[in-house]
Structure 1
């Protein structure tokens, strides 16, 4: 027999989103098992409501009032599930905190995830965003996931190809948004580990510590220290982490911009384009450390927008749009936002 659903009405989401927006949900359910999702689908009234799937709330900008059923994903559990000659396969439930999961893999003696240390959010949200940092993306170690499909009522297994991963994107932001609830994710971690030290500040930090042959844990600790020095703690200053994607532009535009801005950093891409640093572009428009109403641009990192106290989702959107317009006017480059507006 199924346990009755503990539906809550008109619930504040203030403490459930890292930007610290005082949003209110018309209806709210904490999801701890697959059976609850089946019950929701079987309830005509609940099934008909608009849905918002909520993980850690760290890549989200909320409206002040959500006329929706908010499902906070809270399934827990992690384990080593298999291995072959090349990989160890680890599984984590969607509600597990991402950073704690990464630390657990390191404690188990498994390398690979260390560059993704201290990224906020949950394991279930990681594939949606295809999170990435310091030259590594989640998809690099992703094997498959299971998800509940509200359309069919079935639990499905999706491999890397089915998830359609790209830069900070996946099918879960598009066709499957609020239709699929990710239940569990399996990663393949290499038995023969190689450090990924593409980013200079990580390598420099290790050299400064006298570490010439770093272990995965050394890289993780260096990245944690770097992130803490550059990014605000959401517990102290509301934010959604990096707010804009680093734009990818044509070689022609990049070359043209370099003649005007020789200090501009760019990274060659496999398709012939170039990735630019969104934070640098924003800083050149003069927004770093500035504010618009109750929302500002973080004084240490122009890529991060922060809640200066009592900010609304509408105010966040207004500042983001103004920054986009200014960058477009100055550089001819369109910035895309990373967080989801709901």
Structure 2
């Protein structure tokens, strides 16, 4: 385990902004986690766990502590029956690599999550998902280091308290656990409709009536390639804002003026609506502000156009939130995590 000093965070974050991490260490096995935390405790350092850097921001001040780069690899079949296969996966594995492998094995459950950047270990933190699938739907359990008890533990699906883009890891247990393995179960065979509307529309447009994991993956890749910028070319964090959750009454009120607005039921009293639609209707799609740009194909995405400081991003974010608030009386919120 090698601990390095003064590492530029922008080289590890897809938004390409941020100062330096005072210390950084690669985590290649679960014992590295325990040892790194002991080092941090001995030196009075706070800790941040970093995966692929696609859903994380750092300020210009950087991080005055120890950043752990999660690099634990490995995919192991731990159970199989005639209907499904259960995998135990190292937290440092790239999520899209796991999706690709599952499709090659003709398994269904995560194929609509194709091309989501980041690692599988980060997926439970905000219940990552797309196009009608999220990690909680296939999730069995995870293994983690509990920094409170200084022990390795296993958490069940119920323990994680998943909800829309949320879990205990973003709430009550923020900073407590370091996930090192995730266990998921995928079904054998083909996915069955109904599919997410945009996926189904694309399938219909392409004349596809046979639904296999591979076909759904190809369709999602086609959609995402058109809608989302490549972070290697245009630095971004993917979806920057969460989709908004509003009351049933608020949705009905909005639909009087905007009958095309779709609402997706969350519970009896709340509906999810597209924050990208709100930003678009506020006249911001493709708009440049504070050296950032709202993507012209997907208004949920903020692109680093030419910004060199986090301050520019923060100003752009806050202005977008305020403009949407002024127009719709809805306060949208950031999905991307920040080092602190």
Instruction: Describe the shift of the 1:253–1:124 C-alpha distance in structure 2 as closer, same or farther (beyond 3 A).
Output: same
C-alpha contact (below 8 Å) 1:98/1:123 kept by paired residues: yes
The Cα of 1:22 is off from its aligned counterpart by 4.1
Higher deviation after alignment, 206-215 or 12-21: 206-215
Provide, for residues 84-105 of structure 1, a one-character-per-residue CA deviation record: whole Å limited to 9, x for no partner: 4543101210000000111011
Superimposed CA distance per residue, residues 296-321 of structure 1 (whole angstroms, 9 cap, x where no aligned partner): 21111111001012332222222111
- Equivalent residue number for residue 33 of structure 1: 29
1:174 paired residue number: 171
TM-score (norm 2): 0.95
User: Aligned match of 1:51 in 47, 51, 71?
Assistant: 47
Measure the CA separation in 2 of the matches of 1:27 and 1:157.
28
TM-score by length of 1: 0.94
* Other-structure match for 2:97: 100
> Per-residue displacement from partner, 1:39-60 (whole Å, max 9, x unpaired)?
2233365563111110011111
Which residue in 2 is equivalent to 1:74?
Answer: 71
Query: Aligned to 1:220, what secondary structure does the other structure show?
Result: helix
Instruction: State the partner residue of 1:161.
Output: 158
Q: Tell me the CA shift for residue 254 of structure 1.
A: 0.9
Residue 219 of structure 1 is aligned with which of 216, 219, 227?
A: 216
Are 1:60 and 2:47 matched, yes or no?
A: no
Contact 2:51 2:92 in 1 (8 A): yes
Q: Which sections of structure 1, spanning at least 5 residues, go unmatched?
A: none
Instruction: Tell me what 2:309 maps to.
Output: 312
Secondary structure of 2:335's partner?
coil
Structure 2: gaps of 5 or more residues = none
The one-character-per-residue Cα deviations of 1:204-248 (angstroms, maximum 9, x if unpaired) are: 222333321211100000000100100000000011111111111
Structure 2: distance between partners of 1:226 and 1:194? 18
The alignment of Structure 1 onto Structure 2 pairs a total of residues equal to: 338
Structure 1 consecutive aligned stretches of length 4 or more whose deviation exceeds 4 Å: 44-47
1:42 corresponds to 2:38: yes
Please provide the CA RMSD for this pair.
Answer: 1.6
Q: Give yes or no for contact 1:287–1:297 (8 Å, CA) kept in 2.
A: yes
